[in-house]
């Protein structure tokens, strides 16, 4: 390493040390007016701003008098308001700043248009100015010479790999940046301030850089070629979290302006009573993981938080806790403004400390720890999770934390609403999916209004009496009652809702769910452990396949069928088309030595008698379905000879997890029996924990003929979920409840009196009566 570089490193280390000491807010801000400036001047000033901010955040970059008010100039005004006596001095010439701060600069790094990321990385590591090669022959070059600032590094022709290898030990392992080279100043001051490595590569090169970061730290920027999925998925694969920030302006200064964050506004009052005759709906605007939007025109734009309709109805915005790091002044402003609203305006965490796909993490526990800590910093108690798979283990890890009062789930498809409002409880904590979305091309205000006005209104007994509506911030259609922007559309819907539909914040909606946990069981509440049980959620990486399932990959041996559904609630099912093929669900957590109900719908199409498929509920000591962790299984071979071809059938069986089990999955395969051709179609897969003795409809601890009588007398009735002979807990006594009873016949609780085992004649007699009843009911 040459002497110039060594000196630059010494200065850089000194600046970082002084910056970490925590300076008071500066009384005077020197603002660089970017209006009319060149792209190379803005890049140079971004590096200078970041270097100076290491010791004092007194240099700021903004477009002076920008209209509409927003962005960096808006936050400068808020800073002045929050810091009485502070003043601003505007300058438009970089030479003024070079002369004033030459003592804090270690020299300069030379770059060209293709190596601006490399220059940004070196600038942060060494505390040197970024100078484009075109600037050397003009006033900038002269100013550098006059200030005694020498060339420290020339990255022209150097790769990102070279920079990473040369200066790796000097880069921040908690912050890394992905930025496109055509963005000359955005995000760069923050990267320089934090000595963060900056790159735009993808594939193996990207993964090498990300793998070098500390787990559960942040990636700021955006995906390669604006690919959101690539951005989120690559970070998740490396146990990292992302903050969309490639348009972030002057964040070196805003991130170090200290601000006293007030308590989160509009907290739900625990004493709020639940209206038993209401349908509760919460409108939640998405995309608050996007820090650049939050710090640009989100606060002032009349389509979003700055809408004149804000405060006219309860509204929730999801928001990244990382805003407290990149612009605490902005977070304070949002909380202050919302606190004055007549109707509640509230905030929930968007994704985590940063956003990722929890299903793609290898260390979910570490993600939860980092996320909960960040939520506490911004006083959040609800989290909104976006994922490509319905990973209940990851959602449960969040719900298990006492600091979290509710988990909202968004599918990465269907406007975040492809999980159709699925609701379950993890202990007393509700985990609920988006039920509806206000998204151009998927719904209109009128179609959503119709759905809400016709929704159930039994808030103390029916989970379907609760709706989360995702509000897409970029939808602007005027179709179907639309008024051209999302907040106006929500206002239109709210004004036309029936009186029985109550609009609340997401915090309050989850409060009502928690208060009514004991009675919200069965109808509208899922206790199914299998994610994506009806194959409706698609894998974003391959939309021809469902998420949360593994499958045999040979050509044509398995497929996802469209326009095929066993119960009409959805439009997809899974098929096995050949021998030696299978479908396997993702692993789920289970309790050891616990009872479960394993059910699914199936159909044979053109499968000859004697051929069939095997259905397994498998249990393991560890997640992932590895053979080494195998603990036991419930196995059944279904022979086509026993079932009418081309018709849907339901399989039901009780099973128990082994004493050493902690995880389970379900598997459907043609590996273990003859299968010469045709097709097996699978849908509505359930693995449900059982409470008490399944099929014991008279409550005497024994499943016997007396329970059949209870089922027979109640057949066709609507009941409270789990009451009477409602064995599958869906609020109706029907054929499937007979199957539950039949599968459990002879079971007993441990303290029940001994009863004779059922004999074939008993079951045969009951089966004849059952078939006769079915015929009568069908007339």
pLDDT at 727 over 80: no
| 116 belongs to a structural domain | yes
CA–CA dist 181, 178 (Å, integer) = 10
Query: Which one is predicted more confidently, 414 or 255?
Result: 255
Q: For 296-353, what is the HEC assignment?
A: CCCCCCCCCCCCCCCCCCCEEEEECCCHHHHCHHHHHHHHHHHHCCCCCEEEEEECCC
pLDDT at 451 over 90: yes
pLDDT at 5 over 70: no
CATH code of the domain containing 708: 1.10.1330.10
Sign of torsion over alpha carbons 34, 40, 41, 42: positive
Per the omega criterion (within 30 degrees of 0), is the bond before 68 cis?
yes
Strand 429-433 relative to strand 423-426, pairing: antiparallel
- Closest by Cα among 68, 82, 137, 129 to 104: 129
368 and 474 co-located in one domain: yes
CATH code of the domain containing 442: 3.20.20.490
717 and 745 co-located in one domain: yes
Burial tier of 570 (Cβ tally within 10 Å: 0-12, 13-18, 19+): middle
639 and 697 co-located in one domain: no
247 and 304 co-located in one domain: no
Q: What is the rounded average pLDDT of the residues 409-413?
A: 93
pLDDT at 351 over 50: yes
Q: Cβ distance 603 to 649 under 8 Å?
A: yes
Contacts of 33 (CB under 8 A, 6+ apart): 62, 63, 64, 90, 91, 92
The pTM score is 0.80
Q: Domain ends where: 255, 287, 318?
A: 255
| pLDDT for 748 | 66
pLDDT at 218 over 80: yes
| pLDDT for 589 | 87
346 and 387 co-located in one domain: yes
Reported as a pLDDT band with limits 50, 70 and 90, residue 562 is confident
Q: Cβ distance 564 to 681 under 8 Å?
A: yes
| Range of lowest pLDDT (182-191, 323-332, 389-398) | 389-398
Using DSSP, state whether 527 is helix, strand or coil: coil
Radius of gyration, alpha carbons of the chain? 30
Using DSSP, state whether 773 is helix, strand or coil: helix
Using DSSP, state whether 29 is helix, strand or coil: strand
pLDDT in tens, 492-525: 999 999 999 999 999 999 999 999 998 886 666 7
Q: What is the rounded average pLDDT of the residues 390-414?
A: 94
| 762 belongs to a structural domain | yes
Q: What is the largest CA-CA distance in the chain?
A: 105
Q: Give 151-213 as a DSSP string.
A: EEEE-TT--HHHHHHHHGGGS-SSEEEE--TT-SSTTHHHHHHTT-EEE---HHHHHHHHHTS
223 and 121 co-located in one domain: yes
76 and 214 co-located in one domain: yes
Q: What is the rounded average pLDDT of the residues 619-630?
A: 81
Query: Which one is predicted more confidently, 5 or 251?
Result: 251
CA–CA dist 333, 262 (Å, integer) = 9
Q: What is the rounded average pLDDT of the residues 522-549?
A: 82
The CA–CA distances, whole Å, from 482 to 415, 442, 473, 475 equal: 17, 13, 13, 10
685 and 708 co-located in one domain: no
| pLDDT for 310 | 98
| Range of lowest pLDDT (15-19, 414-418, 687-691) | 15-19
| pLDDT for 743 | 76
pLDDT at 60 over 80: yes
pLDDT in tens, 567-582: 887 789 999 999 999 9
| 725 belongs to a structural domain | yes
pLDDT at 409 over 50: yes
Q: What is the rounded average pLDDT of the residues 55-74?
A: 86
pLDDT at 207 over 90: yes
| pLDDT for 204 | 98
Contacts of 214 (CB under 8 A, 6+ apart): 173, 174
582 and 594 co-located in one domain: yes
Report the alpha-carbon angle 253-173-22, nearest 5: 35
CA–CA dist 635, 326 (Å, integer) = 54
| 123 belongs to a structural domain | yes
Instruction: Return the bridge partners of 283, or none.
Output: 469
Q: How many CA atoms lie within 13 A of 563 on its CB side?
A: 0
Q: Cβ distance 174 to 130 under 8 Å?
A: no
Reported as a pLDDT band with limits 50, 70 and 90, residue 168 is very high
Q: What is the rounded average pLDDT of the residues 366-380?
A: 98
| Range of lowest pLDDT (48-57, 582-591, 753-762) | 753-762
- Closest by Cα among 631, 626, 620, 633 to 664: 620
Residue 124's φ and ψ, nearest 5 degrees, are: -70, -35
Using DSSP, state whether 429 is helix, strand or coil: strand
CA–CA dist 180, 191 (Å, integer) = 13
137 and 233 co-located in one domain: yes
Q: Give 112-158 as a DSSP string.
A: -GGGHHHHHHHHHHHT-EEEEGGGTTSHHHHHHHHHTPPEEEE-TT-
Query: Which one is predicted more confidently, 699 or 186?
Result: 186
| 703 belongs to a structural domain | yes
| 420 belongs to a structural domain | yes
| pLDDT for 104 | 98
- Closest by Cα among 91, 93, 88 to 76: 88
Both tokens of 177, joined, read 């940046």
CA–CA dist 177, 117 (Å, integer) = 9
597 and 613 co-located in one domain: yes
208 and 317 co-located in one domain: no
- Closest by Cα among 370, 362, 384 to 432: 384
The CA–CA distances, whole Å, from 158 to 112, 117, 161, 192, 198 equal: 10, 11, 8, 19, 14
pLDDT at 673 over 90: no
- Closest by Cα among 235, 118, 116, 104 to 167: 118
Q: Domain ends where: 661, 689, 717?
A: 689
Q: Domain ends where: 487, 522, 557?
A: 522
Q: Cβ distance 241 to 367 under 8 Å?
A: yes
| pLDDT for 176 | 99
CATH code of the domain containing 659: 2.60.120.260
pLDDT at 588 over 60: yes
Query: Which one is predicted more confidently, 113 or 735?
Result: 113
Q: What is the rounded average pLDDT of the residues 82-96?
A: 98
Reported as a pLDDT band with limits 50, 70 and 90, residue 169 is very high
Contacts of 731 (CB under 8 A, 6+ apart): 522, 523, 718, 719, 720, 721
pLDDT at 664 over 70: yes
Q: Give 464-514 as a DSSP string.
A: GGEEEEEE-TT----GGG--SSHHHHHHHHHHTS-TTEEE--HHHHHHHHH
pLDDT at 708 over 50: yes
What letter does residue 751 receive in the DSSP assignment? T
- Closest by Cα among 452, 443, 381 to 415: 443
| pLDDT for 716 | 83
| pLDDT for 17 | 36
CA–CA dist 466, 417 (Å, integer) = 14
Q: What percent of the chain has pLDDT over 90?
A: 74
CA–CA dist 187, 190 (Å, integer) = 6
Q: What is the rounded average pLDDT of the residues 622-636?
A: 84
| pLDDT for 446 | 97
pLDDT in tens, 240-287: 999 999 999 999 999 999 999 999 999 999 999 999 999 999 999 999
Using DSSP, state whether 403 is helix, strand or coil: coil
| pLDDT for 739 | 83
- CA terminus-to-terminus distance, the chain: 91
Mean pLDDT rounded to a whole number for the chain: 90
Both tokens of 308, joined, read 């004149």
| Range of lowest pLDDT (49-58, 90-99, 392-401) | 392-401
* Boundaries of domain holding 56: 3-255
Q: What is the rounded average pLDDT of the residues 236-242?
A: 98
Sign of torsion over alpha carbons 439, 440, 445, 446: negative
| pLDDT for 230 | 96
Reported as a pLDDT band with limits 50, 70 and 90, residue 731 is low
Reported as a pLDDT band with limits 50, 70 and 90, residue 548 is confident
Q: Number of folded domains in the chain?
A: 4
| 464 belongs to a structural domain | yes
| 721 belongs to a structural domain | yes
pLDDT at 37 over 80: yes
Q: What is the rounded average pLDDT of the residues 741-760?
A: 57
Q: For 31-49, what is the HEC assignment?
A: EEECCCCCHHHHHHHHHHH
């Amino acid at each position: 390493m040459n002497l110039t570089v060594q000196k630059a490193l010494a200065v850089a280390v000194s600046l970082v040390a002084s910056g970490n000491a925590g300076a008071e807010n500066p009384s005077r801000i020197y603002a660089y007016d970017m209006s009319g400036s060149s792209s190379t001047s803005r890049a140079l000033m971004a590096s200078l701003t970041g270097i100076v901010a290491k010791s004092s955040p007194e240099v700021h970059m903004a477009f002076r008098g920008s209209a509409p008010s927003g962005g960096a100039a808006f936050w400068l005004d808020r800073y002045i308001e929050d810091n009485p006596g502070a003043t601003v001095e505007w300058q438009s010439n970089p030479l003024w700043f070079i002369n004033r701060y030459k003592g804090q600069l270690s020299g300069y790094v030379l770059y060209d248009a293709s190596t601006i990321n490399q220059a940004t990385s070196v600038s942060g590591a060494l505390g040197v100015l970024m100078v484009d090669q075109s600037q050397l022959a003009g006033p900038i070059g002269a100013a550098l010479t006059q200030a005694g600032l020498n060339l420290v590094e020339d990255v022209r022709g150097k790769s990102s790999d070279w920079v990473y290898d040369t200066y790796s030990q000097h880069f921040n392992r908690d912050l890394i940046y992905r930025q496109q080279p055509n963005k000359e100043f955005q995000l760069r001051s923050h990267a320089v301030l934090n000595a963060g490595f900056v790159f735009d590569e993808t594939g193996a090169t990207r993964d090498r850089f990300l793998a070098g970061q500390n787990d559960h730290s942040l990636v700021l920027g955006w995906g390669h070629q604006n690919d959101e999925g690539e951005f989120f998925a690559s970070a998740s694969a490396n146990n990292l979290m992302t903050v969309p920030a490639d348009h972030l302006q002057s964040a070196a200064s805003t991130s170090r302006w200290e601000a006293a964050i007030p308590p989160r506004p509009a907290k739900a009052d625990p004493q709020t009573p639940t209206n038993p005759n209401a349908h509760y709906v919460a409108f939640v605007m998405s995309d608050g993981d996007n820090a650049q939007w939050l710090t640009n025109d989100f606060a002032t734009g009349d389509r979003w938080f700055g809408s004149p309709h804000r405060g006219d109805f309860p509204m929730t915005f999801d928001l990244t806790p990382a805003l407290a790091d990149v612009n605490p002044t902005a977070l304070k402003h949002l909380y202050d403004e919302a606190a004055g609203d007549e109707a509640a305006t509230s905030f929930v965490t968007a994704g985590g400390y940063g956003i990722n796909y929890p299903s793609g993490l290898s260390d979910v526990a570490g993600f939860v720890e980092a996320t909960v800590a960040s939520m506490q910093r911004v006083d959040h108690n609800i989290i909104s999770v976006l994922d490509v798979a319905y990973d209940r283990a990851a959602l449960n890890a969040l719900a298990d934390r006492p600091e979290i009062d509710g988990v909202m789930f968004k599918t990465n498809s269907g406007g975040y609403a492809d999980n159709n409002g699925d609701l379950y409880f993890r202990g007393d904590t509700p985990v609920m999916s988006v039920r509806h979305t206000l998204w151009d091309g998927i719904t209109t205000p009128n179609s959503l209004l119709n759905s809400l006005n016709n929704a159930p209104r039994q808030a103390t007994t029916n989970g379907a009496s609760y709706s989360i509506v995702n509000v897409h911030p970029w939808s602007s259609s005027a179709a179907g009652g639309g008024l051209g922007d999302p907040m106006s559309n929500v206002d239109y819907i709210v004004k036309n809702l029936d009186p029985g539909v109550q609009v609340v914040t997401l915090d309050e909606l989850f409060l009502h769910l928690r208060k009514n946990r004991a009675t919200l069981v069965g109808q509208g509440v899922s206790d199914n452990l299998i994610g994506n049980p009806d194959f409706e959620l698609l894998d974003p990486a391959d939309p021809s396949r469902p998420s949360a399932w593994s499958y045999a990959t040979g050509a044509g041996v398995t497929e996802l069928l469209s326009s095929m559904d066993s119960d009409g609630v959805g439009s997809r099912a899974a098929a096995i088309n050949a021998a030696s093929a299978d479908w396997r669900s993702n692993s789920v957590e289970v309790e050891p030595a616990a009872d479960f109900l394993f059910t699914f719908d199936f159909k044979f199409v053109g499968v000859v008698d004697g051929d069939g498929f095997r259905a397994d509920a498998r249990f393991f000591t560890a997640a992932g379905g590895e053979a080494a962790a195998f603990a036991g299984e419930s196995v059944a071979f279904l022979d086509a000879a026993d079932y009418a071809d081309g018709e849907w059938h339901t399989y039901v069986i009780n099973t128990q997890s082994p004493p050493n089990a902690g995880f389970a999955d379900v598997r459907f395969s043609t590996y273990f029996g003859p299968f010469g051709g045709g097709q097996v179609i699978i849908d509505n897969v359930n693995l449900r924990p059982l409470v008490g003795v399944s099929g014991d409809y008279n409550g005497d601890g024994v499943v016997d003929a007396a329970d059949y009588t209870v089922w027979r007398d109640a057949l066709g009735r609507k009941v409270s979920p789990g009451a009477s002979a409602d064995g599958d807990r869906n609020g109706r006594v029907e054929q499937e409840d007979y199957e539950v009873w039949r599968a459990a016949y002879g079971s007993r609780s441990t303290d029940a009196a001994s009863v004779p085992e059922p004999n074939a004649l008993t079951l045969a007699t009951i089966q004849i009566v059952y078939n006769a009843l079915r015929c009568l009911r069908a007339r």
